[in-house]
Structure 1
């Protein structure tokens, strides 16, 4: 299956569809210990999404400790002073709910989807493991082996995932985004239970957490319950790591990965601006739209020309996510068709951006693209969980949930001239990293299986 380089959320399209105006139904308050609570009312069904977001992810790790944030996510299900290993999940299941967790470069989040009468119970569970997690050496030993197997199945045995990992490690010389969220295998092999405990003790605090509650709730009740279960927890002194800013790139970088695979594959990563100021930044919004023009709907430019018309590629894509704590990339990727080399496909992908840089996009095409993107968001905004995800990602990336509606309005105002301008400015050689997958012969043992859904937390 083709690896599409998008985040857990496709933030570019996340900003588009105002099916429900969040500002009209959302309230925010902060507990005395610094914990932020955001309540999004949606009374269409008697369900609630309850999420705890910690503003700590793999970006905060140091060399030699990669994978710690994700390893702690796993350990959060392994028991507290009052709960046995696995009991958290069993209790949520007994409520008829579902729960899980995920780690990203910028944050770690835990969630439960439940019938509204169980909100107090899951709040109590989350507060308990924020403050009272138990770190058992044997449990950690078992879980780190699960994580290493997860890495083998989802990265080491997946050629395109291996290429993406190598691409990021090459594109970034200094910034921690060069490291995989799950961690390098050597770091996992040398990780100790003390490493994970130190991470929890330092970063899992109310003043580094945001609670998002979305669904059929009364904000006053949520406030009362948050005070009851989290208000008594003490804040901690948070010392952020040094920024490790990325030095300026001054020429094309290349990396090649050889692995058993059915087809070659190529990825082009261009360093482009991230969204920093929701009121003023224009280029990130234009890059959002450029990605949609290239690959935002069924008849977008890359697929229409390179796959269906010219038949030089079997699959192609473009992606950009400007909402992040660190630097971001605009990715073009594709699998060449028979008779086309990866080098030729590089030229074809860049040629489509160059065409926009030279000729621009018409008002009618831009309108069509925006209509498609808005339509694609209807089902997500119809979900209380989807709304909670929107809020959480924005908050963890250094923005406010209030920016979501504002960005929707600003994105609708992006002009053809702005799209053409970013196509002209950011797609030269000096900020480009190219990754190429060279397929090796495959045996039955080397065929990459579809990455399974492992038991335990997501990442």
Structure 2
């Protein structure tokens, strides 16, 4: 099973393109004939603070079950980096009524699948299975919240799995090593300036007691959102959740922990003077690069405008960067992309790609800087390209309606980040109202007039700090 981090790009896609349930899975037309999305969500909050959201869909006898905890890499500190991701692994390694390795095998026997992911802001667990096993699934999830084992021998065994994952994601992956260093440079001195998997020395030292502390502090009902979508009866789900989770006490110290961890001054960029070049040595036979700029967190209107900007300049064959740097007589790159990565309390905008044959890093860097400062914002952004991108975004929203998992993930993300699943209505309105002028202004403000960090990796690079 692939217990892994979201990459930057996949997180951006999850937050920007994941889609919600639409009534009877058919678009409803407004007077303007633009399709819209109407969610039919039933929501409860138990007396202990647990939030439950249910979306009924009787199309097929299947369901998806998602659990969101607001705890991730940013909640760790020196000496405990990687603890939340390590805990995610251990949640599959035994609880009071489900011995080690039984959780996965039980779900497989029921005809389902299960997995999880951890990022800087949250940890998410999810299952898809026949809806006839709703009661079993709820009992299993409640058991690993109430009775997680964290046996020392299994912690040590899983530690080796985490080490191997780190090697696969970072040490043995040029792309992963490049991405990690970019994040460390952009967010230096903030809770986002590290590795969600954790530093090697911290992973070696983490104990069952460390993991238990994170579990007891954050795996509590008032820090939990459960979303179930599919062929279920919402009132029955509510009754089962209440009977299995209702007796778990809310944490009285969660508010203080959150206030401490959510202090916005901790996440602010430490300096605006970030202009820098970093060279990494890796196994890539062709140079790879990321050119990163300080971005914005989830929520502000400009962060939505930057989503549109990233797609206009770097998404697909027809994007400006692809046409200018790849699909040209003398290409500088063999591939290129752009991404606006918005986290809960900050963000980063970056352009990346692979150099074409016989193109040097200094040549690419010089040309790219010139294009960004002098050409891109005017040439790339037009009424046509902005409207095309907005149409693609709306289509992507609808595409996510095809699965219960897409519905549950979409609803849970918004409920967790914004405290209201219906935030999607505001999102769609903002995307639809973004003007070409706004996109150009944001391009000038955050890219053309800003400084960036240029990070490259190549098997011929000499490492720089």
TM-score, structure 2 as length reference: 0.88
Query: What does residue 3 of structure 2 align with?
Result: none
Checking the alignment, whether the CA contact within 8 Å between 1:170 and 1:253 is kept in structure 2 is no
For CA contacts below 8 A with separation 6 or more, give which structure has more relative contact order. Answer: 1
- Say if 2:267 is the partner of 1:245: yes
Aligned with 2:416 (options 373, 381, 396): 396
Checking the alignment, whether the CA contact within 8 Å between 1:4 and 1:317 is kept in structure 2 is no
Aligned with 1:272 (options 279, 295, 319): 295
Query: What does residue 285 of structure 1 align with?
Result: 304
Aligned with 1:297 (options 316, 323, 327): 316
User: Alpha-carbon deviation of 1:291?
Assistant: 0.8
Checking the alignment, whether the CA contact within 8 Å between 2:400 and 2:407 is kept in structure 1 is yes
> SS of the counterpart of 1:63?
coil
Q: CA separation in 2, counterparts of 1:39 and 1:348? A: 51
> SS of the counterpart of 1:28?
strand
Q: Within 5 A, what are the aligned runs for 1:209-358?
A: 209-236=224-251, 237-238=253-254, 239-240=257-258, 241-242=260-261, 243=263, 244-246=266-268, 247-276=270-299, 281-309=300-328, 310-322=330-342, 324-354=343-373, 355-358=375-378
> SS of the counterpart of 2:292?
strand
How much is the aligned-residue C-alpha RMSD, in angstroms? 2.2
User: Alpha-carbon deviation of 1:9?
Assistant: 5.0
Checking the alignment, whether the CA contact within 8 Å between 1:12 and 1:288 is kept in structure 2 is no
Checking the alignment, whether the CA contact within 8 Å between 2:338 and 2:351 is kept in structure 1 is yes
- Say if 2:38 is the partner of 1:31: no
Query: What does residue 101 of structure 2 align with?
Result: 86
Q: CA separation in 2, counterparts of 1:376 and 1:12? A: 12
Q: CA separation in 2, counterparts of 1:251 and 1:430? A: 9
Query: What does residue 28 of structure 2 align with?
Result: none
Q: CA separation in 1, counterparts of 2:217 and 2:453? A: 35
Would the alpha carbon gap of residues 18 and 357 (structure 1) be closer, same or farther in structure 2, given more than 3 Å must change? farther
Q: CA separation in 2, counterparts of 1:88 and 1:58? A: 25
User: Alpha-carbon deviation of 1:352?
Assistant: 4.7
User: Alpha-carbon deviation of 1:77?
Assistant: 1.0
Would the alpha carbon gap of residues 32 and 331 (structure 1) be closer, same or farther in structure 2, given more than 3 Å must change? same
Checking the alignment, whether the CA contact within 8 Å between 1:297 and 1:373 is kept in structure 2 is no
Question: What does the per-residue CA deviation read over 1:186-206, in whole Å, with 9 as the maximum and x for residues that have no partner?
Answer: 111121121111111111111
Query: What does residue 456 of structure 2 align with?
Result: 436
> SS of the counterpart of 1:210?
strand
Question: What does the per-residue CA deviation read over 1:22-43, in whole Å, with 9 as the maximum and x for residues that have no partner?
Answer: 6431121100000011112223
TM-score, structure 1 as length reference: 0.89
Aligned with 2:177 (options 158, 162, 168): 162
Q: Within 5 A, what are the aligned runs for 1:104-253?
A: 104-236=119-251, 237-238=253-254, 239-240=257-258, 241-242=260-261, 243=263, 244-246=266-268, 247-253=270-276
Q: CA separation in 1, counterparts of 2:327 and 2:125? A: 42
Question: What does the per-residue CA deviation read over 1:91-149, in whole Å, with 9 as the maximum and x for residues that have no partner?
Answer: 11111011111111111111110111111110110011001111211010100011111
Checking the alignment, whether the CA contact within 8 Å between 2:74 and 2:192 is kept in structure 1 is yes
Which ranges of structure 1 fall in alignment gaps of 5 or more residues?
442-459
Larger deviation: 298-307 or 178-187?
298-307
